[in-house]
Amino acid sequence: MTLGQGIYGKQAAQAKPKSTKNYSHIADQDFVENEIIIEYHRNETLLSTLANKSVEEEQNFFAKLNINYNIWSEASTDEQIDLLRDKITKFRRQGKLKKLKRAKKLKKSLRTAHAVLTLDHPVSKTELATLIKRMNLDGHVSDNFAIDAVYPNYIYEISESITNDPLEEQQFSNDVVKPEALWSYTKGAGTVVAIIDTGVDWNHEDLAANIWINTNEIPNNGKDDDNNGYVDDVRGWDFVNTTSSGCSFGEDCSREDNDPNDFNSHGTHVAGIIGAVGNNAIGIVGIAPETKIMPLRAGFSTGSSAFLETADIIQAINYAIDNDADVINMSFAGYGLSVLSSILTEADRLGIICVAAAGNNSSNEPIYPAAISSVIGVGATADGVSKSSFSNYGTWVDITAPGSWLLSTVPNNNYDHKSGTSMASPVVAGVAALLKAKNPSYNPSAIKKLLLDNATKTTFYVERGGTEFIGGVTAEISFPFEIINSSVPSSALLGASLNLTSSASETAVEYEWLSSIDGSLSSQQSFSISNLSLGTHQISVRARNSSGVWTRAYTKTLVISDEKVIDPNENNGGGDGGLTISPLSQNIRISQFEGRIYASMTRNTRKQIKTFRWTSNLDGVVSNKRGFYKNKLSAGSHILSLQAQDKNGNWTNPLQRISYKYSS
């Protein structure tokens, strides 16, 4: 491959600090030989001014990469490609799709931050390392785009142990994890677990009732009803589209489609561990027997094992994010550095719990994606005490779970035993689904903390001698006594009746409600109150159980105001029944000083006002000036309303201040 100097290299090097990454690992890893992954970001401010030309600008960005690095050949110019799924959908609706067909060889688009490019010919690992190192060091930029990182399209392997000896370490996950204790709270209903794997036999007798259904898609009508870029994706998606010659005979590997069926059995086995249907008098029961399983096929069989390409994994993660999965299980492992880090960090930020297998090399070398900080990395135990012989270990492994000789579902309504950290990962993913179902407000950090705080702390003897930490063993979850919900409005008018309520994670015998302004409010779980003082309250609540233990205080902010803006379509309270509203409405406030009530505003606003109108519910119109003295009001409690008319004849929204008490 020719690696020319390029016309943008010098500028790019100045724009981005040089990378300190080590690329020697590439020579030892498996990857798609003629593809690279570009992780990049856009200047959204500049692109927003380009409107429909933004797609063309993206094409120009990749064309410049071609000039600079000779990434693809001219022979590929006629290939029709997908360039940003969301924009293709938009352009198709606008009848402008023809513009996209002129782009060069951009194989796929993966959300907005990744793209897969096809090289002009297969290269050696050394050549690929040289190209990637140079692109990262250059940090090629344009006005609208900049490269964040360049990676090989790594190949990950499913983490299933090759042994099937029935006399080897045997342990069934439910015996150690005891999910029945969680079932008293929930069985996972209302949660969705995305399984990125070799697919799932979605017709299996013990899985079919729990398969996730995209209710926004009309089945088999050949249309993308929900405009998510996937046609007829009723049960997830098959992302496999590989040129690998090792793909097993008869397996669907050549194109993406809407059938994420399993040709291997690995993904179906994982699905059963997580969510096999319970109480159906059939087969087994999953850890979360009422959760929904989202099948996302990104892995293909090669006979002895199965593999996944990074590009397909990223697309599957994006799909899980876009379709509101609660948990993502990834029973595969590789040494692809942190190529998946940014997208999994984004999933974590959006509240999705990401779980991954630690791998089966009996090594303490970090494996990805399990070693990414936003992912729960799972090792395998044989009996809840000893490490499975194949399991990886080390401080980067967060937790372990049973992974030896687990019985679960396999295609065609069958059941079988499998071993591997691939089997341990769904055990933890299933528990995570139960925790999320129990309390939907739990974020990934809270769920990870619950798992680790309740895990059995231990170290294990390892083959190299000595002991090394591998993470605690997943065990029965003991929930802290805590306030899990508090219903407090964010704002209210002075004197309004408010209903406040709270609930705790277990039965409470007493509650304590406090206001930062008014002090003690109530000792009941729910109560009504109408005498809160004017101002910003910090409303806190805590609870006490029968053992005398108090929860931590749960606090919300409540603003009590004596002003409100009246709907202009209302005639009551001074409304003007739909008249044109002056744009000055937001610029005026009611104030008082030394007995005078007046309209507060800037000098510029005052110049635009023709007249004012002050109205009292007791005295009617009391003034047409900017302000008046309150001794003009009769004795009693007044609701004052203020409006101002601009020089165009338009009145502002009525502004009210309530509960003034004046005496003559």
Domain boundary among 451, 473, 495: 473
Q: Quick one: average pLDDT of 542-570?
A: 80
Q: Is the pLDDT of residue 587 over 90?
A: no
pLDDT of 528-537, one tens digit each? 998 888 888 9
Contact 85, 115 (CB under 8 A): no
Confidence of residue 659 (pLDDT cuts 50, 70, 90): low
Distance CA 410, CA 416 (A): 6
- To the nearest whole percent, how much of the chain has pLDDT over 90? 38
CB atoms within 10 A of CB 608: 16
Three-state secondary structure call for residue 42: strand
Highest-confidence segment of 16-30, 54-68, 202-216, 469-483: 202-216
Amino acid 24: pLDDT:
47
pLDDT at 433: 97
H-type helices in 244-365, by residue range?
A: 266-275, 310-322, 341-349
Does position 100 have pLDDT exceeding 50, yes or no?
no
For position 336, what pLDDT does the model report? 64
Q: What is the pLDDT of residues 428-470, one digit of tens each?
A: 999 999 999 988 888 999 999 989 888 887 676 665 566 776 6
**CATH code, domain with 543:** 2.60.40.10
Domain identity same for 249 and 222: yes
> Does the annotation mark 266 as catalytic?
yes
Three-state SS string over 116-184 comes to EEECCCCCCHHHHHHHHHHHHHHCCECCCEEEEEEEEEEEEEECCCCCCCCCCCCCCHHHHHCCHHHHC
- Residue 220 and residue 229: Cα distance in Å, rounded? 15
Within a domain: 107: yes
Instruction: Reply yes or no on whether the pLDDT at 327 is more than 90.
Output: yes
- Count of structural domains within the chain: 4
Query: What does the alpha-carbon distance between residue 344 and residue 348 come to, in Å, rounded to a whole number?
Result: 6
Query: What is the three-class DSSP state of 322?
Result: helix
Q: Which of 26, 40, 43 is nearest to 140 (CA)?
A: 40
> What pLDDT is stored for residue 79 in this prediction?
31
Residues 191 and 222 in one domain: yes
State residue 573's pLDDT score: 42
Q: How many helices (H) and strands (E) does the chain have?
A: 13, 35
Q: For position 108, what pLDDT does the model report?
A: 44
Does 126 lie in the same domain as 28?
yes
What pLDDT, on a 0 to 100 scale, did the predictor assign at position 214?
96
Same domain, 373 and 491: no
Span of 112-116, 254-258, 488-492 with lowest mean pLDDT:
112-116
422, 505, 540, 641: the catalytic one is 422
Band of pLDDT at residue 90, cut at 50, 70 and 90: very low
Q: What is the mean pLDDT of residues 311-334?
A: 94
Q: Which CATH number characterizes residue 370's domain?
A: 3.40.50.200
Claim to verify: residue 516 and residue 629 sit in the same structural domain = no
Cross-sheet strand order for the sheet of 627-629: 589-593, 596-600, 627-629
Task: Please report whether residue 478 resides in a domain.
Answer: no
d(CA 389, CA 408): 21
Residues 528 and 402 in one domain: no
Name the DSSP class of 608.
T
Question: Is there a domain that residue 526 lies in?
Answer: yes
Give the bridge partners for 501, in sequence order. Answer: 487, 526
pLDDT category at 76 given cuts 50, 70, 90 is very low
The 10s digit of each residue's pLDDT in 214-269 is: 999 999 999 999 888 899 999 999 999 887 667 887 888 988 999 999 999 999 99
**How far is 11 from 648, CA to CA, in rounded Å?**
55
Res. 199 pLDDT band, cuts 50 70 90: very high
Please give the pLDDT value at position 28: 53
Question: Do 187 and 328 belong to one domain?
Answer: yes
Share of the chain above pLDDT 70, in %: 78
Residue 37's pLDDT is 86
Q: Exposure string (b/e) for 179-197, b if CB count within 10 Å is 16 or more?
A: beebbeebbbeebbbbbbb
Is the domain of 393 the same as that of 504? no
Any domain includes 3 = no
Q: How far is CA 273 from CA 173, 427, 428, 601, 648, in A?
A: 9, 6, 10, 65, 71
- Could you give the CA distance from residue 475 to residue 126 in angstroms, rounded to a whole number? 46
Averaged pLDDT score across all residues of the chain: 79
Pairing of β 472-473 and β 399-402: parallel
First to last CA, the chain: 94
- pLDDT tens-place string over residues 385-408: 788 889 998 889 999 998 988 999
- Minimum mean pLDDT among 100-109, 238-247, 488-497: which range? 100-109
Position 631 in a domain: yes
- Claim to verify: residue 402 and residue 365 sit in the same structural domain: yes
Report d(CA 395, CA 525) in Å as an integer.
43
* 291 pLDDT more than 50: yes
Tell me what pLDDT residue 40 has: 80
Please tell me which residue, 156 or 544, carries the higher pLDDT value: 544
Considering 108-122, 296-310, 426-440, the range whose residues carry the highest mean pLDDT is: 426-440
Cβ-proximal residues to 44 (8 Å cutoff; 6+ apart), any chain: none
Q: Considering 411, 440, 473, which residue would you say is the last residue of a domain? A: 473
Can you give the pLDDT at residue 134?
85
pLDDT in tens, 170-197: 335 666 788 888 888 899 999 999 999 9
| Cis amide leading into 369 (omega within 30) | yes
Q: Catalytic residue among 114, 140, 204, 266, which? A: 266
Is residue 492 a part of any domain in this protein?
Answer: yes
Say whether 175 is catalytic.
no
Residue 149 included in any domain: yes
Same domain, 31 and 147: yes
Does 422 participate in catalysis according to the annotation?
yes
Last residue of a domain, one of 155, 184, 218: 155
Mean pLDDT of 508-523: 94
**What CATH number did the domain enclosing 652 receive?**
2.60.40
Its domain, for residue 32, covers: 9-155
pTM flag (> 0.85): no
Asked if the structure places residue 1 within a domain, the reply is no
Catalytic residue among 54, 109, 114, 197: 197
Residues 452 and 535 in one domain: no
Average pLDDT over residues 653-657: 81
Q: Are residues 41 and 176 in the same domain?
A: no
